[in-house]
Chains A and B, each alone.
Chain A
């Protein structure tokens, strides 16, 4: 389209020139849009005045007065709306981050399953994809939630797995380590192990390029991470206090709890998005032409090497961009948690809206939160995409 721009030096200025017309169009368009926005804003202000609706974000400092079912940080009803909304944001992020990790695993497995040489596995993966992506996510969330609260036993008769994991209407309870300073050492050790492992892999790559001798790229890094963690744990005094869930008369106490709402949202989002990711993975792998695989076998690469060195790098280029969209979709779909009462940011903003009547502000907050996470995720994925993309001429 740039070819349309006339050379400014040669064309004399005229009202009939393309540049002038372009300018006029733009000014008119902007004026129209501006007038539209002014009209809406003016009406809004007038309406708010007549209805006595206050505006502004000052309500954020007031006491919220409602409790939140699950929270990652300490919160009680006497704290401010701002804090309540922050709790909601953290809840959204928690379900989104865990969901993204799980759905990637599920989706990739299901996508690869379509290429299995076992017909049953292929059929299973196919039915999974078609079943889950053709039913609205809201309906799926409602059904998972219903399954959790209807089918599972009450807390006094929780399903019990080796006295460690309990599953009931009250949610999933599992053991958690009691936080101690020694755990920081553990994390530090794992981190050092990770850095060392990555350095080792770079070294292996350099050696491979220099001498053609390949080494195992997984064994040493994995050992380094776990070894580092173990070493750090010992250095930190080996804290091994665990909070175990325990069956009481009417409830299960102790450990870490995942509420039924959280579980329903997480499972629903994971399985729904996983179906789309499976299709993306399948499409990506299919997009690598068969000749590539044949050429790879001709030069003597094993099946695994073919996948790792020839097919995957090219498939990744096709897979990553739509995968980013799916991650964003998952994050945005987590807003549906409001339908089953998981206290995510939409749910809390909705409560705030009903209590304070500040519709404009609350909806603006929801939008800003999602815009920020969306832009953040796509920035990260674009960076990753640049790394895996094959450089083109």
Chain B
């Protein structure tokens, strides 16, 4: 038998699946449907984007020159309105010469928030840091001591107000939320009913009606002769509102604790409060941190509503700054885009962070 060596033809090189080329082919032009969608969308972008760039950049007026803005109206954006008014938009009615105070105060508060997001700082003294931050914040904003000129709270406005309302209401809402969540799962019927009523009532009505209540009805609630600052009233309103939503989040965490753990705690002879403090809450609260972050984001956005009860936070300060000025009033859109960017940066950063926390929590659960 004679073996004849017949070479088989070489295999084709493996299809390249990595790199930009194949990615584009797979994700943009993998079939006739995919290809036509891509072509349509690219065409749409080519149709819209040049005009938009022209309006926003090339034809836009950046200097604080209202005549130039008027001339460019319809063709180019007038970012001059931001150049001219940004301090009024960010700090509202706060006295102009004193703007460094709210700037510093806001910087501190935001710094505190950022620091609280970093794992290394999750230590007991963070609480004291926050107390210090709040004390400095209110001293700077309110003045009256250390030679700082006193500034009435109705002059506070803009970004400091937004950041303060959101942060403070979340802090104040947290203990209330935990208490109400525990109450809702309690086996004492009267306490449970009260908690359910509170949660469902608040969650069933819009924030704006709670704010109306804070601004119109609180003055009637108080004993005669006492008057409460409108800022405090609104803060109480937002806190009560936020607490109801947060209580439901905490309840979700409480429900996720297996019943066996409670029974084990009972067996060990722990009291109700010991069980909650040492077994249930540490686990439940860690689990709900991402949802809490989302709640914080929504409260941050919701603070924009206080403008309806005439507190001039970011949105309100903008209307205040522009409505009184005939020269700049026509360029509100540009100013709106400016504060949209501010809100977006804050909220987007927080939502990215919340995603990161979610991943961390998931990692801790996988063993």
Contact (Cβ within 8 A) B28 A119:
yes
* Residues of B with C-beta under 8 A to A379: none
* Residues of A with C-beta under 8 A to B167: none
* Residues of B with C-beta under 8 A to A48: 220
Binding stretch for chain B, among A138-146, A175-183, A184-192: A138-146
Binding stretch for chain A, among B91-99, B142-150, B331-339: B331-339
Contact (Cβ within 8 A) A147 B333:
yes
Q: Cα distance A142–B307 when bound, in Å?
A: 12
* Residues of A with C-beta under 8 A to B42: 120
Binding stretch for chain B, among A162-170, A231-239, A360-368: A360-368
Binding stretch for chain A, among B78-86, B104-112, B152-160, B182-190: B182-190
Whether a CB of chain A sits under 8 angstroms from the CB of B87 is no
Q: Cα distance A116–B217 when bound, in Å?
A: 51
Whether a CB of chain A sits under 8 angstroms from the CB of B327 is no
Interface residues of B in 252-282 (CB under 8 A from A): 259, 262-263, 266, 272
Q: Cα distance A40–B228 when bound, in Å?
A: 14
A206 nearest CB across to chain B (Å)? 36
Q: Cα distance A210–B257 when bound, in Å?
A: 44
Interface residues of A in 20-64 (CB under 8 A from B): 22, 25-27, 29-30, 33, 40, 43-44, 46-48, 50
- CB contact between B209 and one of A27, A124, A346 (< 8 Å): that residue: A346
Contact (Cβ within 8 A) B37 A120:
yes
Whether a CB of chain B sits under 8 angstroms from the CB of A353 is yes
A343 nearest CB across to chain B (Å)? 15
- CB contact between A363 and one of B34, B186, B213 (< 8 Å): that residue: B213
Q: Cα distance A43–B223 when bound, in Å?
A: 5
Contact (Cβ within 8 A) A143 B216:
no
Q: Cα distance A173–B351 when bound, in Å?
A: 40
Q: Cα distance A375–B197 when bound, in Å?
A: 13
Whether a CB of chain B sits under 8 angstroms from the CB of A150 is yes
Contact (Cβ within 8 A) B224 A47:
yes
* Residues of B with C-beta under 8 A to A1: 185-187, 262
Contact (Cβ within 8 A) A47 B219:
yes
- CB contact between B194 and one of A29, A146, A328 (< 8 Å): that residue: A29
- Residue-by-residue, is B16-41 near A (CB-CB < 8 Å gives 1, otherwise 0)? 00000000001110100010011001
Beyond A146-B336, A335-B208, is A138–B315 a contact (Cβ under 8 Å)? yes
Whether a CB of chain A sits under 8 angstroms from the CB of B301 is yes
Whether a CB of chain B sits under 8 angstroms from the CB of A256 is no
Closest residue on chain B to residue A2 by CB atoms: B187
Beyond A3-B263, A121-B41, is A29–B221 a contact (Cβ under 8 Å)? no
Contact (Cβ within 8 A) A335 B209:
yes
Interface residues of A in 113-160 (CB under 8 A from B): 116-121, 124, 130-131, 133-139, 142-143, 146-147, 150
Contact (Cβ within 8 A) B220 A47:
yes
Beyond A120-B41, A363-B212, is A370–B262 a contact (Cβ under 8 Å)? no
Binding stretch for chain A, among B57-65, B120-128, B131-139, B342-350: B342-350
Most buried by B among A27, A130, A375: A130
Contact (Cβ within 8 A) A29 B190:
yes
Q: Cα distance A146–B319 when bound, in Å?
A: 12
- Residue-by-residue, is A310-340 near B (CB-CB < 8 Å gives 1, otherwise 0)? 0000000000000000001000110110110
A271 nearest CB across to chain B (Å)? 13
For chain A, the count of residues having a C-beta within 8 Å of the partner chain is: 59
A20 nearest CB across to chain B (Å)? 12
Beyond A43-B220, A120-B41, A143-B336, is A138–B206 a contact (Cβ under 8 Å)? no
- CB contact between A335 and one of B206, B297, B339, B348 (< 8 Å): that residue: B206
A365 nearest CB across to chain B (Å)? 10
A281 nearest CB across to chain B (Å)? 17
* Residues of A with C-beta under 8 A to B37: 116, 118, 120-121
* Residues of A with C-beta under 8 A to B201: 367, 371
Q: Cα distance A4–B34 when bound, in Å?
A: 61
* Residues of A with C-beta under 8 A to B213: 363
Q: Cα distance A25–B183 when bound, in Å?
A: 12
Whether a CB of chain A sits under 8 angstroms from the CB of B205 is yes
Whether a CB of chain A sits under 8 angstroms from the CB of B222 is yes
Contact (Cβ within 8 A) A134 B347:
yes
Contact (Cβ within 8 A) B332 A135:
no
Contact (Cβ within 8 A) B208 A29:
no
Contact (Cβ within 8 A) B343 A135:
yes
- CB contact between A25 and one of B191, B220, B307, B343 (< 8 Å): that residue: B191
Whether a CB of chain B sits under 8 angstroms from the CB of A385 is no
* Residues of B with C-beta under 8 A to A46: 223-224
Beyond A40-B221, A44-B221, is A366–B212 a contact (Cβ under 8 Å)? yes
Contact (Cβ within 8 A) B208 A142:
no
Q: Cα distance A117–B30 when bound, in Å?
A: 8
Interface residues of A in 334-386 (CB under 8 A from B): 335-336, 338-339, 346, 350, 353, 359-360, 363, 366-367, 370-371, 374-375
Q: Cα distance A335–B308 when bound, in Å?
A: 11
Contact (Cβ within 8 A) A135 B204:
no
Q: Which 9 A-B pairs have the closest CB atoms?
A: A119-B27, A134-B347, A332-B206, A26-B190, A136-B301, A359-B216, A136-B304, A374-B204, A335-B206
- Sampled A-B contacts (22; CB under 8 Å): A3-B259, A3-B266, A44-B217, A44-B220, A44-B221, A117-B30, A118-B34, A120-B41, A121-B37, A124-B41, A136-B301, A138-B305, A139-B340, A147-B333, A328-B204, A335-B206, A338-B308, A350-B212, A363-B216, A367-B205, A370-B209, A374-B203
Further 11 A-B residue pairs, CB within 8 A, beyond A43-B223, A47-B224, A350-B212: A3-B262, A27-B190, A117-B30, A119-B28, A120-B28, A135-B347, A138-B305, A139-B304, A143-B340, A332-B205, A370-B206
Instruction: Name A residues whose Cβ lies closer than 8 Å to a Cβ of B.
Output: 1-5, 22, 25-27, 29-30, 33, 40, 43-44, 46-48, 50, 116-121, 124, 130-131, 133-139, 142-143, 146-147, 150, 328, 332-333, 335-336, 338-339, 346, 350, 353, 359-360, 363, 366-367, 370-371, 374-375
